[in-house]
């Protein structure tokens, strides 16, 4: 375990927290301080330039950001990237890693971690194939132990279905959910499989309701949002995974299981996402869901296996 202190700082989006926390855990920080921050006007419009960075930019609802400063600061998201620059001015001894493209001042961070399909390069940039995440063998085993018995009531093979939500590139609404439910019914009719469905916080409630209604009764369960999140249990227990295509984070997490992964198409398009999907298809890690199921022998998207070693090699005893 790491002996120093670590802050994980984001704007609060679940995907950003997962990436930053996943890196902290991979580096051996069992209990990093998790801080949600925002910016107030006029810094909401400021570019990420060190000369403009100030802790005065923190919005009223932000977590406390003050000394004692951490040994390691991991940020994700533009607002957190701006505050990282401000911390660098008052605590230059703090090692600072930013996840995702900060869109300015790459050299102002000790390390910047970005997916290769973003095309960002630099002497302090480490490229990953997908998004960083928290999925590992220990968490999958823990999920199986916690949820395996209840999921055992569903027929085999068991397919985990991960639902995201509408974003600027893709749309996930009730109309799509009705068509998707029809595809899942065909899948069950052909294979007899069970379904373990988990919406995310981004999933439109109307889409969840439409999916449940049109799936009919039996042979599936869907997390209601109450109680313990079964996400790792579903991933750990399932024989295959279907994941909606609007989230590189969720696709990366699914591919980290080493199980067959199917991408569910959504209305919309992103050239950047297409590059990512093509790289996964070339390695045989994913296929597009067409209502059928094949349990091929899959590999793993193993970014987390090596990224911690690369970070330690770059930052040495600073972390």
* Pairwise CA distance, residues 22 & 306, whole Å: 13
- Is the domain of 109 the same as that of 20? yes
The pLDDT of residue 304 is: 82
Provide the CATH number for the domain around residue 60: 3.40.50
Backbone φ and ψ of 69, nearest 5°: -80, 150
* Pairwise CA distance, residues 269 & 177, whole Å: 18
Q: How many domains does the chain have?
A: 2
Domain containing 265: what range? 137-288
The pLDDT of residue 29 is: 93
- Is the domain of 256 the same as that of 312? no
Considering the domain boundaries, does residue 15 fall inside one? yes
The pLDDT of residue 104 is: 83
Pull the structure tokens for residue 138. Answer: 């220990």
Count of Cβ atoms closer than 10 Å to residue 53 Cβ: 23
Considering the domain boundaries, does residue 296 fall inside one? no
- Is the domain of 215 the same as that of 232? yes
Pull the structure tokens for residue 182. Answer: 């029809």
Counting as low any pLDDT under 70, the low residues of the chain are: 1-3
Contact 210, 216 (CB under 8 A): no
The pLDDT of residue 217 is: 83
Question: Which is nearest to 83 in space by CA: 159, 7, 28?
Answer: 7
Question: Which pTM was predicted?
Answer: 0.89
Backbone φ and ψ of 159, nearest 5°: -115, 120
Q: What is the pLDDT of residues 168-217, one digit of tens each?
A: 999 999 999 999 999 999 999 999 999 999 999 899 999 999 999 999 88
Considering the domain boundaries, does residue 179 fall inside one? yes
* Pairwise CA distance, residues 245 & 263, whole Å: 6
The pLDDT of residue 186 is: 95
- Is the domain of 61 the same as that of 163? no
The pLDDT of residue 1 is: 64
* Pairwise CA distance, residues 102 & 82, whole Å: 8
Considering the domain boundaries, does residue 186 fall inside one? yes
Pull the structure tokens for residue 177. Answer: 């959910």
The pLDDT of residue 116 is: 85
Question: Which is nearest to 164 in space by CA: 101, 233, 211?
Answer: 211
- Is the domain of 124 the same as that of 173? no
Pull the structure tokens for residue 190. Answer: 């052909």
- Is the domain of 113 the same as that of 161? no
The pLDDT of residue 124 is: 95
Provide the CATH number for the domain around residue 256: 3.40.50.2000
């Amino acid at each position: 375990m790491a002996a120093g202190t670590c802050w994980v700082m984001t704007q609060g989006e679940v995907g950003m927290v997962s990436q930053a926390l996943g890196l902290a855990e991979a580096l051996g920080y069992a209990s990093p301080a998790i801080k949600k921050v925002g910016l107030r006007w006029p810094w909401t419009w400021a570019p990420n330039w060190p000369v403009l960075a100030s802790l005065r930019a923190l919005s009223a609802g932000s977590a406390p950001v003050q000394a004692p400063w951490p040994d390691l600061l991991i940020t994700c998201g533009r607002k957190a990237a701006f505050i990282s620059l401000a911390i660098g001015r008052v605590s230059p001894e703090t090692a600072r890693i930013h996840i995702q493209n900060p869109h300015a001042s790459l050299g102002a961070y000790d390390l910047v971690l970005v997916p290769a399909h973003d095309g960002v390069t630099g002497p302090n940039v480490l490229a990953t194939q997908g998004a960083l995440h928290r999925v590992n063998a220990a968490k999958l085993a823990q999920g199986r132990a916690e949820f395996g018995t209840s999921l055992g009531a569903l027929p085999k093979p068991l397919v985990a279905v991960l639902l995201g939500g509408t974003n600027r590139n893709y749309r996930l609404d009730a109309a799509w959910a009705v068509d998707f439910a029809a595809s899942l019914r065909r899948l069950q009719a052909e294979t007899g499989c069970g379904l373990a469905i988990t919406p995310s916080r981004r999933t439109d409630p109307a889409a969840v309701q439409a999916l449940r209604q049109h799936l009919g009764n039996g042979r599936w369960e869907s997390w209601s949002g109450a109680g313990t999140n079964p996400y790792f249990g579903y991933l750990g227990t399932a024989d295959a995974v279907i994941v909606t295509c609007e989230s590189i984070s969720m696709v990366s997490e699914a591919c980290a299981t080493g199980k067959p992964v199917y991408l569910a198409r959504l209305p919309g398009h992103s050239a950047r996402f297409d590059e990512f999907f093509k790289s996964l298809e070339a390695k045989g890690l994913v296929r597009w869901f067409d209502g059928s199921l094949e349990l091929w022998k899959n590999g793993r998207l193993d970014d987390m296996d090596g990224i911690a070693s690369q970070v330690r090699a770059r930052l040495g005893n600073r972390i």
